[in-house]
Amino acid sequence: MKKTPLYQVHKTLNAKFTEFGGWEMPIQYTSIVKEHLAVRTTVGLFDLSHMGEFEIRGRGANELVQKLSTNNVGRLTDGRVLYTLFCNEAGGIVDDLLIYRYTDNHYMLVVNAANIEKDLAWVQSHNDTDAEIKDQSDETVLIALQGPKSIDILNPFVPELDVSEISFFRFIVGEVAGIPTVISRTGYTGEIGFELYVQANSGEDLWNALYPAVIEAEGQPIGLGARDTLRLEAGLRLYGVDMNADTTPFEVGLSQFVKSKNRQFIGKKALLTQKKKGIAKKTVGFQMLDRAVARCGYAIYQNGNLIGEVTSGAPSPSLKCNIGFAIVTSQTITEDDKIEIEIRDRMHPAKIVTVPFI
């Protein structure tokens, strides 16, 4: 298993570890619930160095990323970030990712840890421009600072500007605690926050600079367990469970990230065909009506008919009930509709709710 450059830091903090996408990552330091609530009420510090970063440079860079993305990279100006999908020719999702535009001939792609090799091969194999693609994943440490206090905590370390001036989905290249850092106003928690990209050999220095301020603010280091419940409450999909190569953006509720007008991209034809023919599946949010927890893969029934399955499910520490995403074949299903979820051979009641959950 791969380890991030901060592995020893997590060990020292007594983290419990788990395997995730080929990486040995902290799943929790104290308790998932405590960590989750810290991010909702104060602040949390995450090591996300398992994520992949590719630099794409050259005159063909814009053309290459446009060709691969379902969302319109042409909308980006310098210093902006875009959430997008890569689809295959059949419209199946290859990955979901962020695209950072430095200039129109310099982009950074941030991809899921489990997909780094697949995505790199995908980008390389579709590159018929002069753009140079560099996998910087091993040279990059990504630390996220998320929560309502994240602005106040980060500001003293960034003398050059007030970080609250960095708008959502924008980034600057600056310094945090004297360390050259890409400061990005992004996150996967539904809270105000930042994602900080630094050279791998500066990762520990950045963590050690921020950590005391996080603890001082009654924040916590956050493992992947709370990262999962935070993103679920915020209605954010996870690649590999809520979407994969067998699902299209329309089926998983990501149609707003497909921009097909006046542009070409891989998968466009198949997606337009699916839209014309009608989309058979859709992703909905549900809430359990008893205390049982529905997890990935559990069957969903409506009026006795099997209509789909759970893709993500967990207790929601903020709502104090159990929630999840399901992919279903019913097009008519709507908010407040009752469903039943089969958990260990018994049916448990649930209802459809709006996403995001919080």
Partner 1 sequence: MIPDNLKYNESHEWAKQEDDIVIIGISDYAQSEIQDIVYVELPEVGTELTQKTEFGVIESVKAAFDLYAPVSGEVIEVNESLLDAPEQVNESPYDDGWFLKIRMTDPSELDALLDADSYQAHIEAEHA
Chain positions contacting partner 1, by CB under 8 A: 16, 27-28, 31-33, 36, 225, 228-229, 291-293, 295, 314-315, 317, 322, 344
For residue 337, list its beta bridge partners.
none
Q: Is 49 helix (H, G, I), strand (E, B) or coil?
A: coil
Q: Which residue has the tokens 């989750």?
A: 36
Angstrom distance (rounded) from CA 267 to CA 93 = 9
Between 302 and 322, CB nearer to partner 1: 322
Contact 199, 180 (CB under 8 A): yes
Closest CA to 7 of 45, 47, 43: 47
Q: For partner 1, give the closer residue by CB, 35 or 55.
A: 35
**Looking at beta carbons only, is 280 or 319 nearer to partner 1?**
319
Within 8 A by CB and 6+ apart from 314, the residues are 228, 229, 232, 293, 295, 322, 323, 324
Task: Provide, rounded to whole angstroms, the least separation between the CB of residue 22 and partner 1.
Answer: 19
Comparing CB distances to partner 1, the nearer of 150 and 322 is: 322
CB of 291 to partner 1, least distance (A): 5
Q: Cβ closer to partner 1: 36 or 67? A: 36
CB of 294 to partner 1, least distance (A): 10
User: Helix, strand or coil for residue 349?
Assistant: strand
CB of 110 to partner 1, least distance (A): 25
- Closest separation between CB of residue 27 and partner 1, Å? 7
Q: Which is nearer to partner 1, 70 or 146 (CB)?
A: 146
Report the Cα 239 to chain-centroid distance in Å.
8
Q: What is the dihedral of CA 266, 267, 271, 277, to 10 degrees?
A: 130
In the complex, minimum distance from the CB of residue 349 to partner 1, in angstroms, rounded to a whole number = 14
Which one-letter DSSP state was computed for residue 236? -
Residue type, 150: S
